[in-house]
Amino acid sequence: MKNKTTILISTAILVLIALSSIQAYLINNTYQLKKKAFINETTDVISIIDDNPKLDSLYNIWGDDLKNNISDYKNNRLSKAQIISRSNEKSNSLNSEFKRIFKEELKKVNLGYDVDFKMNLTSVVLLDKIKNDTIFSASKNQSRLFGEKFDDENAKTINNAKWFSEQEFVEKVEGEIKINTFDLEVKSENKILIKEWKSIVYKRMAFLLFASVLIFLIVIGLLYYSIKNLITQKKITAIKTDFINNITHELKTPLATLSIASKSLKKAEIKNNEAIFNSTLNIVDRQNERLQKLIDQVLTNSLSSEEIVLNREQIIDNEYFKHLIEDFKLSVQQQDVTIINKVCSAEVLLRIDKFHFTTALLNILENAVKYGTESIQITIETKHTNGEYSIVIKDNGIGIPEKNLPLIFDKFYRVTDGNLHNVKGLGLGLYYTKQIINAHNGTITIESQLHKGTTFTIKTPIN
């Protein structure tokens, strides 16, 4: 049964992990789709703005200036470094106007979130049939042409542009002035940086994420509830089995004695001997009474605190404990039991159900003897503080393992597992004790250490 339960729990956990993995995979796919759709949506809007004639005119101004610088380069009046320097100066002079126009157009479309844009110059190459001449390469120089300055690592490229131009220029060759042409290739890329784009995508996925987390928590809750119920049912089944074994064992002895006694009563020699006949009848009566007590114990001790009807009466604590200790000593006079009476000297008037309360205390005292050492010592101490009456019963017995303490007041629970009867009992005594104390609006707690003893503390309101 234990192996089946372990397999069932393990399978359920594995299935939960598999479902969680599938859910995480689907959420990640949805995230990627939402992210792609969001970026495409932004890209489309920025691309339209980028095609604005006002921005194109600024780009054309920069392009014309570049062509003039390259004409001077062809005539050996400028170096490549000077072309790059002048190109940067020109773009910087135009950039303020470029950013102003871009922001105006961006405001018109009302995206609802901030986007930074920039145009990077990738390369400027003079094309030649024999060998191309690279004027500018982004890998070796600063590449920003227009727009904001930001790190390319977190940016998104929305498009790449390439344009060709055939430009005439005046060239002096061997003292003769000629008009030649050069072919120019210019490459650029447009990048955008969407601030806090992850937050925006997550917000668009908020309902899906909330629903997924909620469903996941519900599944976890149901699994936990199912496993907890399974373990509880298994525990209850084990306790019931143990209880049935114990009660069967307890009933066997009086039933066997009754069987022998009833057979003896049928014999002629018993019938003719009045003394033996009466003795045998007394045995039948005692065993019948014992059976009745066992049945009453099961029925009465199974009541909850709400079902116990109290018949309260006023008693003086000193007298009550004096009689209780005397009666208990008489019942255990065949054993080595020492009772230390530390009941508070000042008289306190208690209002309790004497019969039920006495039964509760006797259950604790009897347990101290059942689970005691060779020389048993029990201390009964009482205190009266702030309208609360405390009863502390301490013994020097074998103690209770810490793992068993939370279960000690459960119905049918016994620390001795299985059908072991070195200590007899049905596992109802302490359960019934707790129900009686609860019915008196009190509390009962337990502290114990193995081989050092056990302490019960009962607290009840005086009024």
Q: Which of 166, 183, 204 is the last residue of a domain?
A: 204
Strand, helix or coil for residue 266: coil
Residues 221-247: b if buried by 16+ CB within 10 A, e if exposed: eeeeeeeeeeeeeeeeeebeebbeebb
CATH of the domain at 258: 1.10.287
Q: 233 with 255, same domain?
A: yes
How buried is residue 358: exposed, middle or buried, by Cβ count under 10 Å (0-12/13-18/19+)? middle
Q: State phi, psi for 460 to the nearest 5 degrees.
A: -135, 145
pLDDT given at position 420: 37
CATH of the domain at 333: 3.30.565.10
Q: State phi, psi for 403 to the nearest 5 degrees.
A: -65, -20
Q: Which of 260, 275, 300 is the last residue of a domain?
A: 300
Say which DSSP state 310 is in: P
Q: 169 with 252, same domain?
A: no
Residue 411 CA to residue 429 CA, distance in Å, equals 9
Q: 267 with 167, same domain?
A: no
Residue 282 lies in a domain: yes
Q: 257 with 366, same domain?
A: no
- Whole-structure pTM over 0.85, yes or no? no
pLDDT given at position 19: 85
> What is the count of structural domains for the chain?
3
Q: Are strands 176-194 and 156-173 parallel, antiparallel or unpaired?
A: antiparallel
pLDDT given at position 74: 84
Residue 306 lies in a domain: no
Q: 281 with 344, same domain?
A: no
What is the domain range of residue 229?
206-300
pLDDT given at position 141: 62
Q: 188 with 250, same domain?
A: no
Q: 404 with 258, same domain?
A: no
Q: Which of 250, 275, 300 is the last residue of a domain?
A: 300
**pLDDT tens, N- to C-terminus, the chain (463 residues):** 567 777 878 888 888 888 888 888 888 898 888 888 888 888 888 888 888 888 889 988 998 898 888 888 888 888 888 988 898 899 999 999 999 998 888 888 888 888 888 888 888 898 877 788 888 887 766 678 888 888 888 788 888 888 888 877 777 766 677 788 888 899 988 888 888 888 888 888 888 888 888 988 888 888 888 888 888 787 777 767 766 766 666 667 667 777 887 888 788 887 788 888 888 788 778 777 767 766 765 655 555 556 677 888 999 988 899 888 888 887 777 788 888 999 888 888 899 988 888 888 988 888 888 888 888 899 999 998 888 899 999 998 888 888 888 878 877 666 654 333 444 555 567 888 888 899 899 999 999 988 889 999 999 998 6
**The token pair that represents 227 in the structure block:** 């496993």
Specify the DSSP element, H or E, that contains 25.
Answer: helix 2-50
CA distance to 54, 311, 314, 320, per residue, from 439 (Å): 89, 11, 16, 19
